[in-house]
Amino acid sequence: MASKLIIVESPAKSKTIKSFVGSDFRVEASMGHVRDLPEKGLGVDIKEHFRPEYEAIPERKKVLADLARAARGAQEVYLASDPDREGEAIAWHLAEALRLPSPRRIEFNEITRAAVLNALAHPREIDMRRVNAQQARRILDRLVGYQLSPLLIRKMRRRSLSAGRVQSVAVKLVCEREREIQAFRPEEYWNIAVNLTPHGPQTPFQAKLVEIAGRKAKVTNGEQASRIVEDLEAASYSVAGVKKTRQQRKPPLPFITSTLQQEASSRLGMAPKRTMALAQQLYEGIETAQGPVGLITYMRTDSTRVAAEAQAEARQVITARFGAEYAGAGGRRGKAVKGAQEAHEAIRPTSAARDPESLAGALNREQLRLYRLIWNRFLASQMAPAEVDVTTVEVRAGDYLLRATGSVIAFAGYRAVYKPEEDKEGEEGGLPALSEGQPLDLLGVTSEQKFTEPPARYTEATLVRALEAEGIGRPSTYAPILATIVERGYVYLENRRLRPTDLGFAVTDQLERFFPQIMNVQFTAEVENRLDAVEEGKADWVRLLEEFYGPFQAAVANAEQEMRAVRMPAQETGEVCEVCGKPMVIRTGRLGPFLACTGYPECKHTRPVPGGEDTRPAKPRAQVTDLPCPQCGKPLVIRSSRRGPFYGCSGYPACRYTRPLEAEQGEPVAAPNCPQCGKPMVSRRGRRGPFWGCSGYPDCKGTRPATSAVPSSAVGEEG
């Protein structure tokens, strides 16, 4: 019988670890956090040094009871939550909730047999510095969210609003970028190039204009461009100089959380939230031919460190696949991210020898794509630099100097497995053999009008990069922040780029006016630094909260008095709702602009903005019929659900009458009357399939079996 208990966070992790430990161990999952601040109320005793009032999460009460029984029968209890602040806090909450007298904390960066057994051999005590840093963050977020969110809901007259230290700054960055774009004024410029060839049957090449009479070429209008083109068409050309260099391109660093999210977004089209969910699956363990095994190291990290054993294994794989000359020296480290936890490792495969092809049968398509990205990037990070032969040729044509550049890959190095997306070197090939003074023949001159571009809107990936560069947030927070600001309707995705909504602008403006400290990028970054200092034992978490709370509370009191209620204006369109006939206006939600009926909430009809791109999921338009509703007399409309088209009352939600649509004849099937109360019946679907149910439900629960006249694709949900 098992005498030792290991508590992990998830069933998948539990299953993987069970395969590594002996029968003496029982492995159970806590299902994540088990205690938190209460859902209702502040849950923080400010007068008692910000003492948090934790309570069991309702959904975890049964889990805690089961864990308590398992712990009572165990001689030793090991807490094996994730190796970061959140994981340390979960371990501490488990110890407190289960009243464990002497819990043993173990952690591992990868879920492999060797890592787990090594952790069990070297347990430690719970690190209260980490716990206090997490508590300080949680309490800070509660203090801000608990007071700002209700304030916004009242003043903005909108439900489901929220504010937070990091999410509000993220929205601010998106709004600032949008205002830069709105204020941008394009400037005209012209690119001028010539197509040349040496005498004889040589490969032609293109040279771009770079200087005019010794000064940098700046062509700002068509008249100027035309004069230059005329001059170049009449000019004689010769090679003014040739420069050849061999340049090294260093391999990329292995992934950290932010760079994984960025590359998965740009290369695979994955949202950060999806990327982290898939990475969690790969980390916790996948069933392979050799049994369950964790395929990657811990995916919430800001360290580029790689264990010496992993480097050595990677070099062996590289040598076997490509040759010894492709194996790098190893040990390359990038510039440390501010506040990075260097005890952690980068994101890498737990075994470089486990290539993506060997896992094709064990992983689904998304898992395999992400694993391949991680494996390729890690292998590349341990390979030799690429070598590129770069040739630069300068061409003289009177007062004009033109330049051509060509590149040829001399040694692929890391590019054999992983090429940066922006790297185009070697793709266009090199230049023909040329020498100084050599005459050239003109094939043609090209001029192209261009305009300067505004700064690009953030993608989810580039916003993560911006937050990281400013020192805002930490690896575990990026994906939830992005998901939250979209779900709250502050920003929306258009062509994979983030645009603020009117609501996002309005909330940002109000917060910047009344809470400048909260919205200050430098202040938010400094809070992160101080939380790091708490974890390092260099700062006191209660003092941090005291210094924050006084000014914040004063700002809240001022906003309660001074902040005016804001009503979001709707843009009139002249369009009329085809369901109820009321005017339609343009609103902006988390999926972008759309036309909405002013009869909301009685009428919830929406449709795309005319001439605009519909960013919403496709939704068939309701068609008004001349058939009266048998319950209220209003016209029936043809709607569509996931089970197909059906008739519904245009008076919805006041009248919920529906009946199926006869697909073949285009006529409604006559609905029977309820045998109990006489009201019309509506088609519904239950566990056993379609049936007729009384429209008077729940007052009347009369039903009768469906007949063949009831199309299974046209029934509603069981009431």
| 237 noted as active-site residue | no
So where are the chain's domains? 4-126, 136-183+456-562, 188-250+386-451, 257-271+283-381, 570-619, 628-719
- The pLDDT of 470-493, averaged and rounded, is 88
- What is the distance between the alpha carbons of residues 169 and 256, in angstroms, rounded to a whole number? 22
pTM: 0.75
Please say if the pLDDT value at position 160 is more than 90. Answer: no
Where does 188-250+386-451 sit in CATH, by number? 2.70.20.10
* Most confident range, picked from 188-197, 279-288, 522-531: 188-197
- What is the distance between the alpha carbons of residues 661 and 223, in angstroms, rounded to a whole number? 66
- What is the distance between the alpha carbons of residues 495 and 460, in angstroms, rounded to a whole number? 11
Question: Can you give the pLDDT at residue 667?
Answer: 35
Count of positions (residues) in the chain: 719
Widest distance between CA atoms in the chain: 103
Share of the chain above pLDDT 90, in %: 61
Contact call for residues 32 and 92 (beta carbons, < 8 A)? no
What sign results for the dihedral spanned by CA atoms 482, 488, 490, 491?
positive
Would you give the DSSP letter of residue 1?
A: -
The active-site residue out of 78, 237, 283, 298 is: 298
Residues 6+ apart with CB under 8 A from 369: 268
In the numeric block, the tokens 């197509």 are attached to 195
pLDDT of 28-55, one tens digit each?
Answer: 999 989 999 998 889 999 999 999 999 9
Q: How many helices (H) and strands (E) does the chain have?
A: 16, 31
Please say if the pLDDT value at position 617 is more than 50. Answer: no
Architecture of domain 257-271+283-381: Orthogonal Bundle (1.10)
- What is the distance between the alpha carbons of residues 719 and 716, in angstroms, rounded to a whole number? 9
Class of domain 136-183+456-562: mainly alpha
Sheet containing 644-649, strands listed edge to edge, beginning at the edge strand earlier in sequence: 623-628, 635-641, 644-649, 658-660
Confidence of residue 650 (pLDDT cuts 50, 70, 90): confident
E strand or H helix at 175, and its extent? helix 167-183
Confidence of residue 625 (pLDDT cuts 50, 70, 90): low
Please say if the pLDDT value at position 226 is more than 80. Answer: yes
> Residues of 76-100 as b/e, b for ≥16 C-beta within 10 angstroms?
bbbbbbbbbbbbbbbbbbbbebbeb
Return the closest-CA partner of residue 604 out of 624, 569, 580, 588: 580
pLDDT of 667-705, one tens digit each?
Answer: 334 456 777 776 666 666 565 556 677 776 767 777 776
Where does 4-126 sit in CATH, by number? 3.40.50.140
Look at residue 558 and give its three-state secondary structure.
helix
